[in-house]
Chain A
Amino acid sequence: MDGVLIPTLVSGLLLGSLYALMASGLSLVWSTLGVFNFAHGALMTLGAYVAWTVTEQLGLGVALGFVAGVGAAAIAGVLIELLLVRPFYESRNMMLITVMTTLAASTIIERGISMIWGPRLKQLPRVIDGQVSIFGAPVSSHEALIIVLAPAVLAGLWWYTGRTRSGRSLRAVGQNQDAAALIGIDVPRTFSLAFGLSAALAGLTGVLLGSIRFITPGLGADPLVNAMIVVIFGGLGSLGATAGAAYVIGLIEALLILWLGLYWTPSVLFVGLILVLIFRPNGLFGKAS
């Protein structure tokens, strides 16, 4: 058992890191605007494709590809907010309508991607080559980078939303839009900021994932569902609960894969989720509203 346990924990840590990056973006938009962005997975895919084009087709190198991928996702995120979310602010069913419009956005982006880039599989080069060893378990440097980068990004996000002026405006708007507007916060600009930031996180996840998995137009679909399971478990309200749930789910998933195999893991995870929700309708860490 010893020989397998450590690599399993490390792969759980890797999954948890990716889920945390994805889910924190979802949680950020939710807690600021009360919108759940179903295009989050598609934004991730877009980031990976743009990074691939810049790195491989234009030959400009991984670093520039990285920046371009994250930037493209952020721009697309702001566009989604302007075109598909902003017109519905005043609507009584804004939450439901934006679920539908962001679903439409995800179709538009996904189909657009397969029209532009075609169906051939693509893969990004790794940011760093080579292998490192974590507690005796061999891991590729790229995966180790993800494991280190995710907590750093989350910490940065935590610092940003807690300590900086514009970050705190996100939380102010999330808590009370009218009061935030009264003290001089530009509410619509803050919404765009939240969407852009969240989309940048999606793009970052896509670029990181694009060198581990093959890039297809459906790259973002599975991670989105897993991120959804994370936010159901952790609740959508706070960054800390979301990140915590991401690592818990990642570790549980890795252990389930070890014990039950890849095939049964999603089903068992989902049944577990249903059981949790029957007894705790606000999620495992969620507070009763």
Chain B
Amino acid sequence: MTRKQRLFALAGLVVLLLIPLVVQDSYTRHVFIIAFIYATVAVNWDLSLGIGGLFNFGHLAFFGIGVYTAAILTTALDFSPWIAIFAGGVTAALSALLIALPVARLKGIYVVLVTFAFGQLCMQIVLSQGDLTGGAEGLVRLPYLKIGDYSFIRDFKLGYYYLGLALLTVSVIVLLFVASSPFGRSLRAIRDNPEYATARGISVARQRVLVLVASAVFTGVIGGFYAIYLRVASPEVFGFSIGTLVLSMVLIGGAGSILGPVFAALALTFATEAMAGVRGLEEARFIVVAVAMVLVLRIAPSGAIDIFSRLINRSHKN
């Protein structure tokens, strides 16, 4: 990451920290919170897909597992929502370990198929174990998040806003460290030249297991936060639609760039929420996002953000 990018990211963070001073209505803040959640899922997906080059299409399953862990712990077992949120990270990491066992040895398309099927299987389990998960209706009325007597829903969701932003920020900082660490460099080596990386003593199987588990931790935590914030868990979180939406955030932001998907997630969440308010566009917004994703793949495979930075660099040279 260059110095300029670091300053840019820091400026972005400051702006996001100050926004609640300006934005007082709870709907706009809700969209921001959802955007923070999607952004966290997208950047962690970027770790395995973009940096690790692992064809992981079951990433949303880790998110859903976090959602249902938090929901089941708080409704059926009366856990504190605080514990439930972080428990989501633990179960997501364990499930990542399970799926990593076969994935470590598979090649190419079979990685895509197994991880994708894993996500669908999670949905089927949730649907079939209705006693615990609420089946197709899902689980509702999860407890509110509180510190002492202060409920996070008060002051136009102020607590949720900052907690969501904090989780996103911590996750991004951790990922930036991981990406520039020797581990991150070994991942890029495997992605760009697996034969050479193996020849230099990097175990492809071990790094794949590690990257899947690492990318699942924060995804599960943010899933727990999602469930506690919305106070519901529904099987939709495993579905095609959210998966394609978050994938488009990774691709439009630029796979492997970490910060790109964060900005893409913010922009796309606001764009799709704006379209959701327009009559007739409720369904069409998913089509618009899908088309945008294809166009980005066609025109700018390294992400739409990359085009802007290239334009900026060019104007500097002139």
Q: What is the interface of chain A, defined by CB distance below 8 A to chain B? A: 30, 36, 38, 84, 87-88, 91, 95-97, 99-101, 103-108, 110-112, 114-115, 221, 225, 228-229, 231-232, 236, 262-264, 266-267, 270, 273-274, 277-278, 281-283, 289
A100 touches B297 (CB 8 A): yes
Chain A CB within 10 A, most for which of B128, B291, B294? B294
Q: What is the interface of chain B, defined by CB distance below 8 A to chain A? A: 55, 57, 98-99, 101-102, 105-110, 112-114, 116-118, 120-121, 124-125, 128-129, 240-241, 243-244, 247-248, 251, 283-284, 286-287, 289-291, 293-294, 297-298, 301
Give B295 Cβ to nearest chain A Cβ, in Å: 10
**18 additional contacts (CB under 8 A) given A103-B243, A114-B283, A281-B110:** A38-B116, A88-B297, A95-B108, A96-B112, A99-B55, A99-B112, A100-B247, A101-B293, A104-B248, A104-B290, A110-B240, A111-B283, A111-B286, A232-B113, A266-B124, A270-B117, A273-B117, A278-B101
Report the number of A-B residue pairs with Cβ-Cβ less than 8 Å.
113
CB-defined contacts of A100 to chain B, threshold 8 Å: 247, 251, 293, 297
Of all chain A residues, which has the CB nearest B129?
A263
Of all chain B residues, which has the CB nearest A286?
B110
A263 touches B283 (CB 8 A): no
CB-defined contacts of B102 to chain A, threshold 8 Å: 274, 277-278, 281
B117 touches A101 (CB 8 A): no
A107 touches B105 (CB 8 A): no
CB-defined contacts of B124 to chain A, threshold 8 Å: 266-267
B125 touches A266 (CB 8 A): yes
Of all chain B residues, which has the CB nearest A36?
B109
Cα-based distance from A110 to B290 in the complex (angstroms): 11
Q: A91-B301, A111-B284, A266-B124 are in contact. Are A103 and B118 (CB under 8 A)?
A: no
Of all chain B residues, which has the CB nearest A235?
B110
CB-defined contacts of A277 to chain B, threshold 8 Å: 102, 105-106, 110, 114
CB-defined contacts of A84 to chain B, threshold 8 Å: 294
B128 touches A236 (CB 8 A): no
A104 touches B284 (CB 8 A): no
Q: Can you sample 15 A-B contacts with CB below 8 Å? A: A95-B108, A99-B55, A100-B293, A100-B297, A108-B287, A108-B290, A111-B241, A114-B283, A221-B240, A232-B110, A267-B125, A274-B99, A281-B110, A282-B110, A283-B110
CB-defined contacts of B129 to chain A, threshold 8 Å: 263
B113 touches A101 (CB 8 A): no
Q: Which of B101, B120, B128, B287 contacts A225 (CB 8 A)?
A: B120
CB-defined contacts of A107 to chain B, threshold 8 Å: 240-241, 244, 286-287, 289-290
Give B313 Cβ to nearest chain A Cβ, in Å: 24
Cα-based distance from A5 to B56 in the complex (angstroms): 39
Give B233 Cβ to nearest chain A Cβ, in Å: 19
CB-defined contacts of B57 to chain A, threshold 8 Å: 99
CB-defined contacts of A229 to chain B, threshold 8 Å: 117
A104 touches B291 (CB 8 A): yes
CB-defined contacts of A91 to chain B, threshold 8 Å: 301
Give B53 Cβ to nearest chain A Cβ, in Å: 9
CB-defined contacts of A273 to chain B, threshold 8 Å: 114, 117
Give A33 Cβ to nearest chain B Cβ, in Å: 12
Q: A101-B294, A114-B283, A263-B128 are in contact. Are A225 and B244 (CB under 8 A)?
A: no
Give B290 Cβ to nearest chain A Cβ, in Å: 4
Cα-based distance from A194 to B283 in the complex (angstroms): 31
> What 9 A-B pairs are tightest by C-beta distance, nearest first?
A104-B290, A277-B102, A263-B128, A225-B120, A266-B124, A107-B290, A281-B105, A270-B121, A107-B244
Cα-based distance from A87 to B298 in the complex (angstroms): 7
Give A109 Cβ to nearest chain B Cβ, in Å: 9
B284 touches A115 (CB 8 A): yes
Of all chain A residues, which has the CB nearest B101?
A278
Of all chain A residues, which has the CB nearest B103?
A277
Give A86 Cβ to nearest chain B Cβ, in Å: 11
Q: A107-B290, A108-B290 are in contact. Are A101 and B109 (CB under 8 A)?
A: no
Give B110 Cβ to nearest chain A Cβ, in Å: 6
CB-defined contacts of A36 to chain B, threshold 8 Å: 109, 112-113
CB-defined contacts of A111 to chain B, threshold 8 Å: 241, 283-284, 286-287, 290
CB-defined contacts of A270 to chain B, threshold 8 Å: 117-118, 121
